[in-house]
Amino acid sequence: MGLGITRMNYIALNARDPQAAAAHAEGFGFSVAHAAEDGTHYLKAHGPDPYSLVYKPSGDGPGMHHASYLVADAAALDAAVAQLEGEGVAVQRIEQPEWNHAPAARFRSPAGHLIELTTGVHLDRPVGHAAATPAAAPAPLAPDHVGLGARNFEIEEHFVEQTLGLLHSSRIRAKDGPQIMSFMRVPGRQLYHQLVVVRSHIDTLHHLQFTLKSVDSFYATHEAMVANGIDVEWGPLRHGPGHNIAMYFRDLEGHWIEYSVEEEIILDDATYIPRTWSTADTKVIDEWDSGPPPPSMMGPPPEKAHLYAKLGAALAQMKRPTLYACVSQVGPVPRPSPQIDVILEHLEWITELDRQGLIYAAGPFVTPEQSMQGDGLLIIRAESEEQARAIFAQDPIHQGGYREAHVFGWQLHQGRLNDLFDTVTQES
């Protein structure tokens, strides 16, 4: 039956420096409506709402504080709270929440995302249709959806469907893998999606979105943002699900923000059949085929980014030698056997190579009777295949044409080096 959500209201984000984040947001079309004593900054967009983006001071780094959705009126709010509590969801009623804010109720999704219900500006159509055309750019109107990451995708999706009462507009499945996204809409509100559930390695905000008025406004906004020094890292592009034209950039705190326009509307919930896309189809992320999203968008959330950077730096410090398997073989052409002096030279050469620390493993191929047949395997460290070939070619066995040299790039994946034995020093 749902909670009676009508539309998104605003999105509140955590910020280490809300004032700096708010000043930066002016570059992508927001203006400060109010700065509270606790440092919270309320930012107005170009739509009908008193504010659409909020930065809250946080010592924990970035992330979503809460996503605010509207219900029709106070009675609808009471009914929603009663229903949530009836389903065992802990709800916090807030009678005097924040600046310029009606009474609200807040609760958490299974992944821990704080969701707020309150009352505000009621629209009978999606904001992209209802709002007046802005006079200038950049001009975001209002948020229409938020993407919420969840480790336990299925449980979060079930909550959004069963408890919030949203309907599927589409699903995305990984190629040969599980479902990774669900685009969910509020019944009877026409808009394609008000919430996206995203399979994620951590329960975190994936992205927040704001709707623009028109394609003209979208491109004017793009130009103005670029002129303001905002790095639009992905787009303009046209998404498969929702068919909206979109572009993505990051705010000062690293949150991914989507600006989009011309989102598909659904006029009849009863007859709409949700589509399932596969990531094998490149048109999912962009019908214009502009390429994949920036890796950082699919990567760690901003609040963990410093940890991943630390991991990357640590890995870069580790010596992970490139290995080459070098095989010495008689080959199909009959060849003379090397004389004893050549064999001794070969032994000297390979011992010197070992002294230089270049040998990972080396040894001859042997017969069932354990006698050497003349062919051998040498695994060496080298900077490149070219260098490995040059090293292997120095073997007097190859110099004299007694064997063919074959070099293959090789990786150590499994194995136990329990007995480390230095054949040169005879020490273990």
**Which residues would be at the binding site for Fe ion (CB under 5 A)?**
209, 258
Q: Which is nearer to Fe ion, 156 or 258 (CB)?
A: 258
Minimum distance of Fe ion from residue 207's CB (angstroms): 6
Give the residue with the Cβ less far from Fe ion, 182 or 209: 209
Distance, CA of 329 to CA of 86 (rounded, Å): 77
Place of tokens 């008025």: 213
Shortest distance in whole angstroms from residue 64 CB to Fe ion: 14
Report the nearest approach of Fe ion to the CB of residue 259 (Å).
10
Contact criterion met (CB below 8 Å) for 209 and 260: yes
Q: Which is nearer to Fe ion, 211 or 328 (CB)?
A: 211
Torsion sign (Cα): 283, 288, 292, 294: negative
Total residues found in the chain within this entry: 428
Residue 302 CA to residue 16 CA, distance in Å, equals 12
Q: Are 64 and 205 in contact (CB under 8 A)?
A: yes
Residue 209 or 211 with smaller CB distance to Fe ion: 209
Residue 203 or 258 having the CB closest to Fe ion: 258
CB 147 within 8 A of CB 140: no
Residue with smaller CB distance to Fe ion, 251 or 258: 258
In the complex with Fe ion, the residue whose CB is nearer, 119 or 209, is 209
Closest distance of CB 285 from Fe ion, Å: 11
Shortest reach from residue 209's CB to Fe ion, in Å = 4
Residue 195 Cβ vs Fe ion, minimum distance, rounded to whole Å = 10
Least spacing, CB of residue 258 vs Fe ion, in Å:
5
Nearest approach, Cβ of 50 to Fe ion (angstroms)?
24
Tokens standing for 62? Answer: 């970035």
Q: Which is nearer to Fe ion, 168 or 346 (CB)?
A: 168
